[in-house]
Structure 1
Amino acid sequence: MIAFRHFLLSASLVLTGCAAQPPLSPEAATSAETRPLKLASWNMEFLAEKDGVGCEPRTEADYAAMRGIIDHLDADVIAFQEVENLAAAARVFDPARYDVIMEQRPGAPSGTCGGKNAAQSVIRQAVGFAVRKGIAFDRYPDVTSLMLGNAQLRSGVDITLRPRGRAPVRLLSIHLKSGCFAGSEAKACSVLTQQMPMLEAWIDTAAAGPDRFIILGDWNRRLGLAGDSVWAEIDDGEPANADLRLADEGIQPECDPRYTSFIDHIVLDRRAGGDMHGFSEVRYAPGEKHYSDHCPVSVTIEP
């Protein structure tokens, strides 16, 4: 049984226009236009197309359980990370309910996994979105600057959501370099430090644009720690809409007892931050299997 804990808190080239909206009944249209929009993020830990493949080999029952988590989450948009391909995504995101968009970077997976799965081979880890059918969106070029010219680093997936009868919101799904969770001394910090100006350039461009924006994903950084240098760098309020809100500010994760600070974050600009009124984290019942080493997080924002 999956339990949810809710914490109530007081200009690019368009590649494609996707997800045309089907006609709705007047009652359904009114409901869709007035209810809060729910946005989530989940690193799915080497989600593979086939059973038994990747650094977290799964069975059909595992995929069914993960689809159950997605169904229970009932988000309008899920930013995801570490998904092999579209076929893998379709195993957990019901194609009848969601349109899936993935980064175009092919990646360069190589080598074997570590730990208990050392005999397994590494698979592609891609970033993307699952968008509820009936919600229109525009897709922009992937944010390849985050790759720093390295095929092993992930690009960002950049879309503008255009819900029926509601203000647009620009969304970026990211998965930054792992290993620099705090401070600046770890080996990976040199790479994460180079990614920050690329991300800040996207933030500044979006902040100067007409639409509110939100960045969702696996930041691999404890942004909520007091005095975090990465957070200070991006939350500079220049332009004014780059005055950012960290959705999990002041909240400790409860899903996995191994962790005391979030590294999966939802970051909102000044405009979207004012529309946010809820943050939640998926939790499992005691003893229940965890299907990824990350737990889904979500926010709700007003239309």
Structure 2
Amino acid sequence: MATWNFEWLTLKGDQRAGVRHQDDYQQLSSIFVQLAPDVLAFQEVDSPEALARVIPTEAYNVYFSDRYAALKDSTQSQQLTGFAVRKDWKVDDPRDLRQIALPDFFGVPSLRYGTYVVVTPPNQEPIHILSIHLKSGCFKQTHASRSCKKLSKQFGALADWVIAHGDKNILIAGDFNRYISDKQDPYWQQFRQTLLENTSAPTDIVNVTQSVRARCKARRYNWRTQTWNQVMYSRLVDHILVSESLASQWQYSYQHHFAYHRVMNYRLSDHCPVVATFKASER
């Protein structure tokens, strides 16, 4: 199982960070082939055509957020969530977790949906999986900014979803835009407390990426100087959460660190993929 925010994987050319050439796609594809996950939860992908530059579609089926149907003809690039799953795995594709997008009074969502699939590995029980990309701008602070208020509501929507599926195998993967691995992070603590205080059936979620070492080398575009700057992200915002039933099958997790020469010579992403290995997914 892996999660990867591709940073504007798009063919439309309207995003400076999304301008990539054939060599760049080949590098991204070689990294994906090296990781060879059974399931990839992806974020910031505009279209199946863009994803096909990275994912070998002869080996994987792709499932996009329900938002894609409404946005596919847009001339502007979109940040969509979704999955790529090995073709020999059974997949059901229910409706997205739209509540995480915080619909307004008229039902119009302002943020990204959580893509929801039910994956059944060969000879295993079904797993209910979300690919998410939460609100940016509240990485650690807890002040009452608009970003933090929205992120707090999103964690509440996630808790409601977990409670509704609490008797099933659950996995939530993606870009949380929050350092929930930090000791005693209040958003993470409140999320788990809500689950444990559920009166119908207390449940718990385990962050199997809690101790992953983050050392993601990347390049970030500076609009003021119009140059690319090298950066090192030493704190994790991409996580994989699982129910206790899956945590017992978890073996290890890690962040794939891009090689220095790849970062300097190719347009990759400002997120390094995060991988979790489970006994159920051994091949």
Normalized against structure 1, the TM-score is what? 0.78
Query: Which position in structure 1 is the counterpart of 2:57?
Result: 95
How far did residue 261 of structure 1 move?
Answer: 1.6
Query: Which position in structure 2 is the counterpart of 1:70?
Result: 32
Q: Does the 8 Å CA contact 2:132/2:175 hold for their aligned counterparts?
A: yes
Amino acid aligned to 2:131: S
How far did residue 220 of structure 1 move?
Answer: 0.4
Q: Matches of 1:55 and 1:199 in 2, distance apart? A: 32
How far did residue 151 of structure 1 move?
Answer: 4.0
Amino acid aligned to 1:142: D
Distance 1:89 1:286, change over 3 A: closer
Q: Matches of 1:284 and 1:175 in 2, distance apart? A: 21
Q: Does the 8 Å CA contact 1:47/1:54 hold for their aligned counterparts?
A: no
SS at match of 1:213: strand
How far did residue 187 of structure 1 move?
Answer: 3.7
Normalized against structure 2, the TM-score is what? 0.83
Q: Does the 8 Å CA contact 2:130/2:172 hold for their aligned counterparts?
A: yes
Alignment partner of 1:60 out of 5, 22, 40: 22
Question: Bigger relative contact order, structure 1 or 2, given CA contacts below 8 A and separation 6+?
Answer: 1
Amino acid aligned to 1:97: A
Q: Does the 8 Å CA contact 2:215/2:232 hold for their aligned counterparts?
A: no
Query: Which position in structure 2 is the counterpart of 1:227?
Result: 184
2:147 equivalent to 1:198:
no
Q: Matches of 2:271 and 2:43 in 1, distance apart? A: 10
Q: Matches of 1:55 and 1:156 in 2, distance apart? A: 25
Q: Matches of 2:259 and 2:66 in 1, distance apart? A: 37
Measured against aligned partners, the alpha-carbon deviations of 1:247-295 in whole angstroms (never above 9, x if no partner) come to 2223330223632221000011111111101102111223321600000
Identity %: 31
How far did residue 64 of structure 1 move?
Answer: 1.2
Query: Which position in structure 1 is the counterpart of 2:172?
Result: 215
Gaps in structure 2 of 5+ consecutive residues: 218-230
Amino acid aligned to 2:116: D
Measured against aligned partners, the alpha-carbon deviations of 1:165-190 in whole angstroms (never above 9, x if no partner) come to 11221111100111111121244101
Q: Is the deviation greater in 194-203 or in 71-80? A: 194-203
2:84 equivalent to 1:130:
yes
Q: Matches of 2:11 and 2:2 in 1, distance apart? A: 22
Distance 1:41 1:108, change over 3 A: same
SS at match of 1:101: strand
Gaps in structure 1 of 5+ consecutive residues: 1-38, 110-120
Q: Does the 8 Å CA contact 2:213/2:255 hold for their aligned counterparts?
A: no
Aligned length: 251
Amino acid aligned to 2:183: A
Query: Which position in structure 2 is the counterpart of 1:292?
Result: 269
